[in-house]
Structures are given as C-alpha cells and as structure tokens.
Structure 1
C-alpha cells in the first residue's frame, strides 16, 4: 500500500489529501488545492473511491472536481448530494491493500470519522502530529460554532481504546505525516486537550 500526499507543496490553504494505491485505489478527502484531480491522475487512471473524514470546506472544496474527473464512489458519514455509500462507526472499508475500521470521532466536526487499520491511521483533524499549535501531538480546534472540546476528548479516548498497538503510520488532515509510536502521539494530544486551554491563545 503506497500513500501519496497529492497536496504537497500547495500554495493555498488546504487539508492534506492522500491518494492510497493498491487493490482499491482511494482518495482520503479532496482538499481545496485547484488541480488536485490532475495530480491524482499523474499516479492513477482509475480512482475507485473518495472517503471523507469530514465535510469542512478545507477537506471538500475540490470534491466535485475530483468526482467529475473520475468515476469514483463517495463514502461519507453525513449526507452529501454525491454520496454513494454511507459509512458509520464500526463499519470496515478497504483502502489500498488494507481493511480499515471506521471510528466516529466528533468534537471538531459532528460527522468526523477516523480510519484505522492494523498499521495505519487516517486521523483527519481529530489528532495530528504537528500543526503550528503543538508539535508531536495536537488535536482539532474546538472554538467554533458546533464544536466541543468535551466531545473531542471522548473521541480521542475512543480512538485510543480501538487503536491497535501495531499502528505506526499516521496521516492527518494537517501537518506532516508521522511514522513511529502513533499511540504516544495520540496520548500526548489527549493530555493537551484535557488541559482545556485554548489551542490558539489570543
């Protein structure tokens, strides 16, 4: 299973978008980088599916462009006009060459899900390795309407309960990818979230 960050070097603000090649070629999120579909096409002629971690604008801005270019299914937790398959907590989906558990992880967004296999996590915005606020364990912001730090903390706890010890690759919605002790990164993110301090102090 190969993972390509197709938004690497983007000059506009965007979530990270990951193209996973293998038995089932899947794009995780779509981002806001114009031309992202062209970068995907540099790696593959066939895209089987797009999976959304959540539907914030920086994760879905170029979704229509991707779906217009490729005859791909759209998997999402929340309703979307182009969704072809609903995913829910406890579901299992194939990405690349691995089976991933869908874990509902709200707090940053009500429809947020994380995708976890025996080796890899696509964590969206619930937990990231580095994002300009914290290095080596940060968490999604919860200071905007419809967000909740308490719910986010519960989501990170749920993620830890269901995270296999063998996971060593972390691909988050922002910041750099991480390879190593993913559990330790998630635990540090939880500790910081539990302090209830603002993520971005004024």
Structure 2
C-alpha cells in the first residue's frame, strides 16, 4: 500500500490528509488546503472512500470539494449530511490494501477514531510523532472547551492494548509520519500525557 500526504506542501494551516492507494483507494481525512482535489488527481483518477478521524475544521475544510469531485463514500463516527456509513468502535474498514479496525479514541475530539491494521495505524490527532511540542511521541491538544486530558489518556491506553506488535507505520494528523517502533512512540506519548502538564506552557 502506497500512502501519500496530499497536503504536504500546504501554505495554510491544515491537517495531514493521507491518500492510501491500493485495492481500495481511500483518503484518510481531507484537510483544509485549497486545491487538494488537484493534488489527489495527480496521483489517482478516482477515490473510493473518505474516512474521517474526526470533524475538526482543519481535517474537513475541503470535504465538500473532495466529495463533489470524486463522489466517494463518506465514513465517519459523527453525523454528517453526506455520510454514507456510520463508524463505531471495532468496525472494520478497508483502506488501500489493508484491513483496519476503528478504535474510538475521544479526548481531543468527541468523535475521534484511530484506525489500526497489522502493519499501519492512522492516529488522527490522538497521538503524533512530532508536532512542535514534543518529538518522538506526542498527544493531541486537550485545552479547549469540550476536550479532556483524562479521556485522551484513556484513549491512548486503549490504542496500546489493541495495537499489534507488527505495526511499523504511523500516519498522524499533524507532523511527520513515522516508520519503526510505533509502540514505543505511543508509549512515550502516553507518558507525556500522564504528566498532566500543559502541552504548550506559554499559551
């Protein structure tokens, strides 16, 4: 399975948006970068589905444009007027060439899902590799209204219990992707979250 970050060259704030190319071509999040449809078309002619980790604006800003351009299925946890399949914890989703399990992981967002296969995890914003606050293992912000550090910690622990030891690729909603010991990265993110200190002390 080939995975491309189609918002990698964005000049405005956006989440990462990952195009997984394989038996089932899927966008995991779409980002908020104008022109993302054109970048996707440089790689593929069609998109079978869009799978959302959550519906914060930086992850779904270009959703209507993508849906209009490719008419894919839309899979997500929370309600959306164009949703074609509601996802729940434990649901199975085909992305690229791999079979993923949806893991409900609130804290940063009430509708947050991560997606775990035998080799790969799409973590959305629950865990990142590097994000400007921490390198080599960080966690999503929990300082806005409606967010919860305690729920975030619980979600990271749940991901670790359901993460196969064979997972070696992590694609997060922000920052760099990571190939290697994904379990160790998520364990460091958990340890940092469990300190319960402000993620960005100067803000």
Q: TM-score band (shorter)?
A: over 0.9
Distance in 1, matches of 2:122 and 2:2, equals 13
Distance in 2, matches of 1:41 and 1:27, equals 12
* Residues 1-202 of structure 1 mapped to structure 2, 5 A cutoff: 1-202=1-202
Q: CA deviation at 1:192?
A: 0.3
Q: CA deviation at 1:27?
A: 0.2
Q: CA deviation at 1:119?
A: 0.2
Q: CA deviation at 1:46?
A: 1.1
Q: CA deviation at 1:75?
A: 0.2
Question: Please, which runs of 5 or more residues in structure 1 have no aligned partner?
Answer: none
Question: SS at the partner of 1:144?
Answer: coil
Distance in 2, matches of 1:147 and 1:101, equals 24
Question: Please, which runs of 5 or more residues in structure 2 have no aligned partner?
Answer: none
Distance in 1, matches of 2:71 and 2:60, equals 17
Equivalences, count: 202
TM-score calculated relative to the size of structure 2: 0.99
TM-score calculated relative to the size of structure 1: 0.99
4+ residue stretches of structure 1 with deviation over 6 A?
none
